[in-house]
Amino acid sequence: TIGILGGGQLGRMMTLSGTAMGYRFITLDPTDNSPCGQVARQIVAGYDDQKAARQLAEECDVITYEFENVDADVAALLENEAYVPQGSKLLYTTQHRLREKRAIEAAGVPVAPYREITSAEDMSAAIEALGVPCVLKTVTGGYDGKGQRVIRDTETALTAYEELAGLGTELVLEQFVSFECEISVIAARNPQGEIRTFPPAENVHVNNILHTSVVPARVSSELQLEAQQLAAKIAESMGAVGLLAVEMFVTRDGQLYVNELAPRPHNSGHYTMEACSTSQFEQHVRAICGLPLADTCLLSPVVMVNVLGEHIEAVIDRFAKKDADADELGVVPKLHLYGKADAKTGRKMGHINLLCHDVQHALDWIGKTNIWRNEYK
Ligand code: AMP
């Protein structure tokens, strides 16, 4: 039995994959009937509920998590009372941007130049060193672009500092990377030290939320290989177990800078579900259960497009009818829905993997549906 801290879509897809492999799953999540709770047994309790965490520890042979902001005390309790192969150190590092950057640098992998900011005085020296534009970020708690401000001149710097310093966490100032594109690589490592990486995905974000992942990424094959090697190097150096998603910027002159890590399955790895010989979810289950890692080769070009609250109705209509555009373009759309009832704007409700002969055909399909027209304004 595998226990999952968190009951969102990542836990749901992990459960669906792992169930096919013969494992049983229990999820701990505060909201009843969570996406994962619909396909696994669920303990309904808060993430800081020590009694519930203890129950999960008692009932499970292996424990994993599907989000990063796991309460440190609960993580420590679980590590003491159960088998948590990913450990709490990886979480401790990736929960904090500065610790994360130092760990990436320690692996010998480049990050965008940055400065730690602990006071208003630090800001002017850091801006002088890094130049504008630059990006001020909170070191903890930020996701999907929350807790960050782009600074274009020294005047906006102070207001940005005051706003973010008010959130009560440390800050980091990063040089703005004028990137050609963003890519990500999912690496997997098992406790025996075996490492495998998936082909890089080229990611487009809209309003700081992932919109599409295009695979193969439209960068040179040398860069793809280098990105995979960097991700493997980080996983190795950190002694990661399970998946490690590595997000990178690609500059015009072909330099790679790592931006962020996530020690879990990642939205930009959803394409693997149909397009690779092994999905990221199966690979994660294999890694945490100490099985040999499986082949990750790409079986077909693919574009993954996210279905948010504002898209869901049109998407369901579209999939209820015969799709002449898909037939004509030679695109095979595979819909995955997460079982969420409340379709709020910006909420991730599902995704579509568009298998294709050429990624441009899949992008044409997205355009023809008109469902994502606001993304291309
Ligand atoms: P993050 O929360 O660090 O993943 O940042 C969210 C998004 O903001 C990234 O996917 C980038 O598109 C953009 N961004 C973050 N940091 C930088 C940077 N140093 N230079 C340029 N763009 C950035």
DSSP designation for 106? H
How does pLDDT run across 310-344, given as a tens digit for each residue? Answer: 999 999 999 999 999 999 999 999 999 999 999 99
pLDDT band for 229, please (50, 70, 90 cuts).
Answer: very high
For 153, counting Cβ atoms within 10 Å of its Cβ (0-12 exposed, 13-18 middle, 19+ buried), the class is exposed
Residue nearest to ligand 1 atom 19, measured at CA:
176
Round the average pLDDT of the chain to a whole number and report it: 95
**Angle CA(330)–CA(185)–CA(181) in degrees, nearest 5?**
75
User: And the tokens for 250?
Assistant: 């690609």
Ligand 1, pocket-test mutation among 259, 260, 266, most atoms within 8 A of CB:
259
How does pLDDT run across 121-157, given as a tens digit for each residue? Answer: 899 899 999 999 999 999 998 766 778 999 998 888 8
* 146 labeled part of a ligand binding site: yes
Full-model pTM: 0.97
- The predicted structure's pLDDT at residue 175: 97
Residues in the chain: 377
- The predicted structure's pLDDT at residue 144: 65
With both helix axes pointing from N to C terminus, report the angle between 154-165 and 120-130 in degrees, rounded to the nearest 10: 130
Phi/psi at 11 (nearest 5 deg)? -65, -35
- The predicted structure's pLDDT at residue 74: 86
- The predicted structure's pLDDT at residue 147: 87
Half-sphere exposure of 179 (CA within 13 A, CB side): 22
Residue nearest to ligand 1 atom 2, measured at CA:
145
Check pocket membership of 177 for ligand 1, CB cut-off 6 A: yes
CA pair distance 330, 184, nearest whole angstrom: 26
Place of tokens 């890692």: 293
Whether the predicted interface score ipTM is above 0.90? yes
CA pair distance 353, 345, nearest whole angstrom: 21
Atom of ligand 1 nearest to the CA of 144: 2
Half-sphere exposure of 25 (CA within 13 A, CB side): 29
How does pLDDT run across 42-90, given as a tens digit for each residue? Answer: 999 999 899 999 999 999 999 999 988 788 778 888 999 999 999 989 9
